[in-house]
Amino acid sequence: MFRVLPTYRIDGRLPYDININPNSNGLPGISQLRDIVGASMTVGLILAVLALVIAAIVWALGSNSSNPHLAGRGKLGVLVALGAAIVTGASVALVNFFWNVGQAV
């Protein structure tokens, strides 16, 4: 009446120990790429400082000229510049954190 289907074990057929890690000797130019990324982070931080200075000036001009719209734009510019500096400075730590989270899965 009922037919039982056979079961098969595939334990020995699948590779369980796949271990692939990033390495710095696999491709040529990795050290130059690290230098380029570091230089672009430096440029990003310099631009964030410039944006902070300009936004603070706009905020001051808006406050002193009784222009709330200009003062609000200056405040927003200060927050954006600080956020850009935080993201630029923490980018390596954030990538490493999420890399470690991904490795724990």
Q: What does the pLDDT read at residue 31? A: 87
Average pLDDT of the chain? Answer: 88
- Range 46-52 average pLDDT: 98
Domain ranges across the chain: 36-103
Res. 10: pLDDT tops 80? no
Q: Are 75 and 60 in contact (CB under 8 A)?
A: no
How far is Cα 97 from Cα 79, in angstroms, rounded to an integer? 25
Cα separation, 76 vs 47, whole angstroms: 16
How far is 26 from 22, CA to CA, in rounded Å?
A: 9
Q: Residue 12 is which amino acid? A: G
Q: DSSP for 30-63, please give it.
A: HHHHHHHHHHHHHHHHHHHHHHHHHHHHHHHHHH
pLDDT band at 22 (very low <50, low <70, confident <90, very high): confident
